Structure 1
Amino acid sequence: MDYRSLGKSGLKVPVLAFGAGTFGGKGPLFGAWGSTDVTEARRLIDLCLDAGVNLFDTADVYSDGASEQILGAALKGRRHAALISTKATLPMGDGPNDAGSSRFRLIRAVDDALRRLGTDYIDVFQLHAFDAGTPVEEVLYTLDTLVRAGKLRYIGVSNFSGWQIMKTLAVADRYGWPRYVANQVYYSLLGRDYEWDLMPLGLDQGLGALVWSPLGWGRLTGKIRRGAPLPPESRLHETARFGPPVDDDHLFRVVDALDDVAGETGKTVPQVALNWLLHRPTVSSVIVGARNAEQLRQNLGAAGWKLTPEQVAKLDAASAVTMPYPRFPYQRQQGFARLDPPLPHADAASA
Structure 2
Amino acid sequence: MLSFQDVCKRYPDGTTAVDQLSLDISHGELVALIGPSGCGKSTTLRMVNRLVEPSSGTILVDGRDNRAYHPVELRRRLGYVIQQVGLMPHLTIAENIAFVLRLQGVAPKQRRRRAEELMHLVGLDPGLYLDRYPRELSGGQQQRIGVLRALAHDPDIILMDEPFGALDPLIREQLQDELKRLQKTVHKTILFVTHDMDEALRIADRIVLMRDGRIVQAAEPEQMLRAPADAFVAEFIGRHRMLRQASEVAVADVMIDNPVTMEVHAGLAQALERMRQRRVNSVMVVDSGGRFAGVARLEDVTRALEQGLPMRVGDVARWAQTAVHPDDPALNAMRQMLWYRVDAVPVVAEDGTLAGLVTRSALAGVLDDALRVTGAEPLAEAR
TM over 0.5: no
Larger radius of gyration: 2
Question: Comparing both chains, which one has the higher relative contact order based on Cα–Cα distances under 8 Å and sequence gaps of 6 or more?
Answer: 1
Q: Which has the higher strand share?
A: 2
Q: TM-score, normalised by structure 2?
A: 0.32
Q: TM-score, normalised by structure 1?
A: 0.34
